[in-house]
């Protein structure tokens, strides 16, 4: 299949003119994180069918696909074309060509957001305290409240002593009751820098009367100072009074107005859902628990703090419209204020009532029709494995999900690495493919069948169905036919990270503002 190509000037002009473009790096996350252009969003070849419809809602959006010469771009373009996308191009020459044209490349993940956080700090000199200073305050039992703005699972893994989990978008709503005395000092922390800078500046922008400081360099800074982190903590924010909620809503609305956030109605939402010539993302920025009890049809659950931190992971079309919903207003207006400063065309839905939240349950990605393949139920597959040594299970889950739980004896494989993986997997007459979520195995099945020349079945309901059937499972990184390239190991994750890697990460963050200047396509500004 012949696919047209685009060059550096095309991409740069789209970005400078704030026109819609989906610049997609289709490598796995780890190689993507080694170096990529600023607005090249990661959409791995392995997951295109699973992610495309929710991340690329407009079928004729200009899509330009990037790899680094591995050969992923062409099949990615063909898959997108098969899904109905009509304006798909390859970036000629890959990452090497981008650099040769003078393009800046960035390391790590969520780089637009992390760069923006450093940009904010450089412009507003967001106040911060060192780990040693904060520890002295805690040891002296000073009147101080530590709020952790990461996801709850990150906080639960390791946290600052006394810290309370208050994910970023919740701060302006929750802090007034966590620290009702204006003389109480607030310390905002994350794992590194970005979310604590944004969180601290959010409270300052909203006019919270307390003194607010970021914990400089977050849990990384705490660890590098030789101080102990807590593990397994469960302290969380609680509900607030009506008066507190009203005041918080007014504060957040004021910040959003000053940032130029636009307003939308339910009628606008219906019109934009039907619009063919504009990409619009619809996000519910409350907690996942609130979302599940009731939400607007067509809105995806993306808590506001993480949306600001990981924008390109859910909205890879730069130049798109973003609409945020939260009946309280606070969790939409505060993230919207930051997205506006990141040069997004962002709206907050006004007039939203509880009775409008007619859908319940978790968000499910819109998917293309599953391929017609042979399937097998969990109990039958279990019988095959016990009685037939010529049957093997292949698991196409993320590496993290595979390590967490998999069918005993199964092999882990990355779809993008399938040819190499098959060289390591024993040759048998029958393979059973599984995954979490289950659809990933379906999308890999036809390709696997063509390469293996064997009988191929997909496990109905995936690994979850196996576990739900009460069948034995195992954990750990056994039988890896592919390297764990699908997730870049963040230097701030977990409890056993090399201090040199932590320091190198901080050094990298400090250099992002200079890199932004060299790139010149961001349009960031600061309130």
Supply the pLDDT for residue 504: 82
Could you tell me if 230 and 141 lie in one domain? Answer: yes
- The residues near 120 (Cβ < 8 Å, ≥ 6 apart) are 126, 197, 198, 201, 341, 526
Average pLDDT, integer, range 28-36: 97
Q: Which residues pair with 264 in a beta bridge?
A: 349
Could you tell me if 232 and 294 lie in one domain? Answer: no
pLDDT, one tens digit per residue, over 103-133 is 999 999 999 999 999 999 999 999 999 999 9
Could you tell me if 329 and 349 lie in one domain? Answer: yes
Would the pLDDT of 495 be above 70?
no
pLDDT, one tens digit per residue, over 264-300 is 999 999 999 999 999 999 999 999 999 999 999 999 9
Lookup: tokens for 396: 């196409």
Supply the pLDDT for residue 48: 97
β-pairing, 375-376 with 455-459? Answer: parallel
Domain count, the chain: 4
Question: Which of 111, 141, 164 is the last residue before a domain boundary?
Answer: 111
State the average pLDDT for the chain. Answer: 96
Return the DSSP state at 408. Answer: T
Average pLDDT, integer, range 362-388: 95
Could you tell me if 232 and 265 lie in one domain? Answer: no
Q: Which is more confidently placed, 185 or 453? A: 185
User: pLDDT class for 184, splitting at 50, 70, 90?
Assistant: very high
Could you tell me if 73 and 46 lie in one domain? Answer: yes
- How many other CB atoms sit within 10 Å of the CB of residue 520? 12
Return the DSSP state at 88. Answer: E
Supply the pLDDT for residue 388: 85
β-pairing, 345-349 with 321-325? Answer: parallel
Quote the pTM value. Answer: 0.95
Q: Do the domain assignments include residue 182? A: yes
Supply the pLDDT for residue 75: 97
Average pLDDT, integer, range 479-500: 83
Supply the pLDDT for residue 497: 66
**CA–CA separation, 151 vs 26, rounded Å?**
26
Query: What is the distance between the terminal CA atoms of the chain, rounded to a whole angstrom?
Result: 48
| Most confidently predicted of 220-224, 320-324, 496-500 | 320-324
Would the pLDDT of 253 be above 90?
yes
Residue numbers of the domain that contains 265: 257-354
Helix or strand run (H / E) with residue 441: helix 439-452
Supply the pLDDT for residue 502: 82
Supply the pLDDT for residue 193: 93
Could you tell me if 325 and 424 lie in one domain? Answer: no
The CATH number of the domain holding residue 299 is: 3.40.250.10
Would the pLDDT of 494 be above 70?
no
29 three-state secondary structure? helix
In contact, 45 and 29? CB cutoff 8 Å: no
Could you tell me if 130 and 99 lie in one domain? Answer: no
Q: Do the domain assignments include residue 83? A: yes
User: pLDDT class for 506, splitting at 50, 70, 90?
Assistant: confident
């Amino acid at each position: 299949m012949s696919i047209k190509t685009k060059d550096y000037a095309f991409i740069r002009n789209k970005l400078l003119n704030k026109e819609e473009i989906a610049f997609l790096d289709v490598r796995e996350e780890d190689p993507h994180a080694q170096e990529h252009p600023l607005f090249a969003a990661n959409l791995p070849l392995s997951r295109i069918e699973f992610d495309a419809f929710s991340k690329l809602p407009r079928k004729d959006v200009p899509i330009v696909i990037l790899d680094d010469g591995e050969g992923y771009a062409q099949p990615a373009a063909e898959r997108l074309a098969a899904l109905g996308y009509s304006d798909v191009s390859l970036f000629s020459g890959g990452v090497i060509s981008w650099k040769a044209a003078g393009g800046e490349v960035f390391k790590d993940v969520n780089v637009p957001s992390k760069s923006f956080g450093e940009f904010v700090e450089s412009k507003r000199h967001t106040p911060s305290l060192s780990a040693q200073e904060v520890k002295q305050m805690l040891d002296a039992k000073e009147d101080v409240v530590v709020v952790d703005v990461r996801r709850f699972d990150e906080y639960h893994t390791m946290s600052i002593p006394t810290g309370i989990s208050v994910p970023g978008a919740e701060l302006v709503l929750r802090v007034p009751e966590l620290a009702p005395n204006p003389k109480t000092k607030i310390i905002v922390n994350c794992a590194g820098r970005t979310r604590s800078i944004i969180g601290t500046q959010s409270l300052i922008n909203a006019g919270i009367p307390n003194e607010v400081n970021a914990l400089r360099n977050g849990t990384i800074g705490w660890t590098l100072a030789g101080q102990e982190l807590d593990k397994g903590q469960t302290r969380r924010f609680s509900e607030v009074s009506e008066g507190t909620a009203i005041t918080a809503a007014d504060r957040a609305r004021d910040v959003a107005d000053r940032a130029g956030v636009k307003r939308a109605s339910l009628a606008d939402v219906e019109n934009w859902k039907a619009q063919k010539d504009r990409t619009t993302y619809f996000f519910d920025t409350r907690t996942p628990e609130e979302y599940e009890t009731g939400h607007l049809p067509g809105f995806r659950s993306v808590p506001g703090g993480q949306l600001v931190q990981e924008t390109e992971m859910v909205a890879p079309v730069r130049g798109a419209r973003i609409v945020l919903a939260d009946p309280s207003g606070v969790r939409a207006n505060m993230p919207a204020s930051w997205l506006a400063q990141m040069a997004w065309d962002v709206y907050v839905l006004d007039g939203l009532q509880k009775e409008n939240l007619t859908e319940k349950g978790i968000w499910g990605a819109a998917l293309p029709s599953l391929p017609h393949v042979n399937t097998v139920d969990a109990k039958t597959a279990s019988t095959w494995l016990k009685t037939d040594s010529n049957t093997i299970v292949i698991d196409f889950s993320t590496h993290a999900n595979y390590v967490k739980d998999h069918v005993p004896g199964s092999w882990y494989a990355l779809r993008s690495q399938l040819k190499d993986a098959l060289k390591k997997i024993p040759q048998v007459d029958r393979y059973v493919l599984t995954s979490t979520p289950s659809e990933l195995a379906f999308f890999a099945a036809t390709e696997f069948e063509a390469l293996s020349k064997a009988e191929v079945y997909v496990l109905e309901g995936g690994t979850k169905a196996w576990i739900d059937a009460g069948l034995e499972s195992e954990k750990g990184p056994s039988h890896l036919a592919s390297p764990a390239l699908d997730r870049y190991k963040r230097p701030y994750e977990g409890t056993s990270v090399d201090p040199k890697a932590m320091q190198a990460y901080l050094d990298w963050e400090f250099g992002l503002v200079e890199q932004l200047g060299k790139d010149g396509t961001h349009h960031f500004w600061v309130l």
